[in-house]
Structure 1
Amino acid sequence: MLVRLLYASRAHSPMGDAELSTILKQSREHNPAEGITGLLCYTDGIFMQVLEGGRDAINARYKRIVSDNRHHDVILLSYEEVGEREFAGWSMGQVNLQRLNPGLVLKYSETAKLDPYRMSGRALMALFHELVSSGAIVCS
């Protein structure tokens, strides 16, 4: 059974490009074996991630994320059973924040600042879909 999970968390300490690249590299190496696909966005000390895959694999990954000391204030924004993947093209895609249009964020949020703690899971998923359509995802 396929599921899609969306969460947000705050980084315990600011992440540089090198640290974020390491996380993405590890995800891209390990996710195919676990059947996990998805997208990652990191901005202003906040992670937002969509994970898709088998229920057991996604639940185990989320459990590891919640207990990972690099994160705090982990919040589950959406969890649903799905008939098909929407982000199957990426073992772990990354949102290119330089292509993030503040007007697009404002379409789904109270302000033009991307803050998942002030957005619904449904709105954040819709934003991710538009980012995919606009080519704002760095492929893996």
Structure 2
Amino acid sequence: MLVRLIYASRAAQAVNHDTLVAVMKAARAHNASAGITGVLIFTDGVFLQLLEGGRNAVSALYNKITRDARHHDVVLLSYDEVPERRFSGWAMGQANLSRLNPGILLKYSERAVLDPYALSAQATLALFEELVSTAVIDCPGQ
């Protein structure tokens, strides 16, 4: 059974570019072997991630994230059984928000600033889909 999980968290410490690249590399390796696909957005110390895959694999990864000292304020935004993946092309894609038109954020939120804690699950999924359709997702190394 396939599921889609979306969560938000805050970085416990500052995350620089090299750290983020290392996290993405490790995530891609793990996710590929676990059958997990998805997209990560990281900006201003906030992670917003969408994971798709088998229920057990996705749940195990989410539980690991909730126990990871590098994350705090972990909030489950959405967890749904799905008939198919929408983001099957990425072991883990990363949104490059420097290429994002601020109008896209305004379409789904009160301000042109990403605050996943203030978005509905439906708006969050629509935002991910729009990021993919506007080629804001980077997949270096994939």
- Common fold: TM-score over 0.5: yes
- Give the secondary structure class of the aligned counterpart of 1:56: helix
Report the Cα offset of residue 82 of structure 1.
0.4
CA distance in 2, matches of 1:112, 1:94: 19
2:90 maps to 1:90: yes
Question: Which residue does the alignment assign to 1:33?
Answer: 33
CA distance in 2, matches of 1:2, 1:103: 32
Q: Aligned letter for 2:4?
A: R
2:59 maps to 1:52: no
Report the Cα offset of residue 99 of structure 1.
1.2
CA distance in 1, matches of 2:45, 2:30: 24
CA distance in 2, matches of 1:45, 1:102: 18
CA distance in 1, matches of 2:104, 2:33: 34
CA distance in 1, matches of 2:51, 2:117: 18
Q: How many residue pairs are counted as aligned between the two chains?
A: 140
Question: Which residue does the alignment assign to 2:119?
Answer: 119
Runs of 4 or more, structure 1, over 4 Å off, are none
What is the aligned-residue RMSD (CA, Å)? 0.6
Deviations 1:59-105 (A, max 9, x none): 00000000000000000001000010000000000001111111100
CA distance in 1, matches of 2:121, 2:100: 18
- Give the secondary structure class of the aligned counterpart of 2:79: strand
Gaps in structure 2 of 5+ consecutive residues? none
Give TM-score, length-normalised by structure 2: 0.97
- Give the secondary structure class of the aligned counterpart of 1:41: strand
Q: Aligned letter for 2:101?
A: N
State percent identity of aligned pairs: 59
2:128 maps to 1:136: no
